[in-house]
Amino acid sequence: MGSKTEVRIGEVWDATKIGSPSEPGSGAVHLWQRRLDAPGAEVSACYELLSIEEQERARRFRVERPRNEFVLTRGTLRSLLAQYLGSTPQDIRFRYAGHGKPALEGESGLSFNVSHTNGLALMAFVKQRAIGVDVENVGREVEAERLAERFFSEHERQALRPLGGDELQAAFFRCWTRKEAYIKAKGEGLSLPLHQFDVSIVEGDRDALLATRPDADEAARWTICDIPIGSGFAAAVAVATREGSQ
């Protein structure tokens, strides 16, 4: 069992101006974002940083925009990891867990997770513990009630029910990003039933995981909070409260 240390979520840095960051200290979460509407030259530069497998994956995209977004996100992730580890982007090696969550090969102890949505990528880094992030473009109209019925827990649906209009849309995306960050931290994808845990929909909640089932103690093992990402987007991060789980 690892030690329990405070989790500190910092500001979001611009990943197009990386500099020479030091690895996060114990309990510190580093957050980076980048716009994904970059010129072709930047896409090409990022493409050159990818592994052969990633380049093949990029070529399999039929539509240019998601292809460019994948290339920019993965290339930027490689650049950031290289800066943290004193390596080069091309030398970064990933391994993939059962449901596809990427992690670093080797013993560096640096964990990361990535999310991208139309126009924006978000990357989070922490030492010695599991982490998940999600960013969503909130500009699009969503059928919040129908999606909530399908994906959210009874507690969450009840909390959303009195809301309407913009308030409902904002609370819906808070709920969605918090839930998604949690399943990404655990790495289990949708094999983790979404009704088996409740998140808060309250704005600014710094500890938004309310309940987990069937293991109620699981809720204390994670902290979930929003990321201040700027207008047009909603984002959340979930981090293990103890070191040792990655």
Ligand X SMILES: CC(C)(COP(=O)(O)OP(=O)(O)OC[C@H]1O[C@@H](n2cnc3c(N)ncnc32)[C@H](O)[C@@H]1OP(=O)(O)O)[C@@H](O)C(=O)NCCC(=O)NCCS
Can residue 73 be called a binding residue for ligand X (CB under 6 A)? yes
What is the greatest pairwise CA distance in the chain? 52
Nearest distance in Å: CB 22, ligand X: 23
Nearest distance in Å: CB 115, ligand X: 3
Can residue 134 be called a binding residue for ligand X (CB under 6 A)? yes
Residue 3-42 contact track with ligand X, rule CB under 6 A, x = bound: ----------------------------------------
Which stretch in 97-105, 201-209, 211-219, 231-239 sits in contact with ligand X by CB under 6 A?
97-105
| Single residue of 30, 78, 101, 242 touching ligand X by CB under 6 A | 101
With beta carbons less than 8 A apart as the criterion, state whether 121 and 72 touch: yes
Distance CA 43, CA 62 (A): 16
Can residue 113 be called a binding residue for ligand X (CB under 6 A)? yes
Bridge partners, residue 23, by sequence = none
**# residues contacting ligand X (CB under 6 A):** 22
Can residue 246 be called a binding residue for ligand X (CB under 6 A)? no
Q: Which is nearer to ligand X, 34 or 116 (CB)?
A: 116
Nearest distance in Å: CB 192, ligand X: 9
With beta carbons less than 8 A apart as the criterion, state whether 234 and 115 touch: no
Structure tokens, 136? 């969503």
Please report, as residue ranges, which positions from 144 to 183 form the binding site for ligand X (by CB under 6 A).
151, 176, 179-180
Which stretch in 3-11, 30-38, 110-118, 203-211 sits in contact with ligand X by CB under 6 A?
110-118
Q: Which is nearer to ligand X, 90 or 191 (CB)?
A: 191
Nearest distance in Å: CB 114, ligand X: 4
| Single residue of 99, 103, 142, 207 touching ligand X by CB under 6 A | 99
Q: Which is nearer to ligand X, 19 or 100 (CB)?
A: 100
Write the secondary structure of the chain as one string of H (helix), E (strand) and C (coil).
Answer: CCCECCCEEEEEEECCCCCCCCCCCCCEEEEEEEECCCCHHHHHHHHCCCCHHHHHHHHHCCCHHHHHHHHHHHHHHHHHHHHHHCCCHHHCCEEECCCCCEEECCCCCEEEEEEEECCEEEEEEEECCCEEEEEEECCCCCCHHHHHHHHCCHHHHHHHCCCCHHHHHHHHHHHHHHHHHHHHHHCCHHHCCHHHEEECCCCCCCCCEEEECCCHHHHHHEEEEECCCCCCEEEEEEEECECCCC
Q: Which is nearer to ligand X, 7 or 176 (CB)?
A: 176
Q: Which residues bind ligand X (CB under 6 A)?
A: 70, 73-74, 99-102, 113-116, 132, 134, 151, 176, 179-180, 184, 187, 189-190, 194
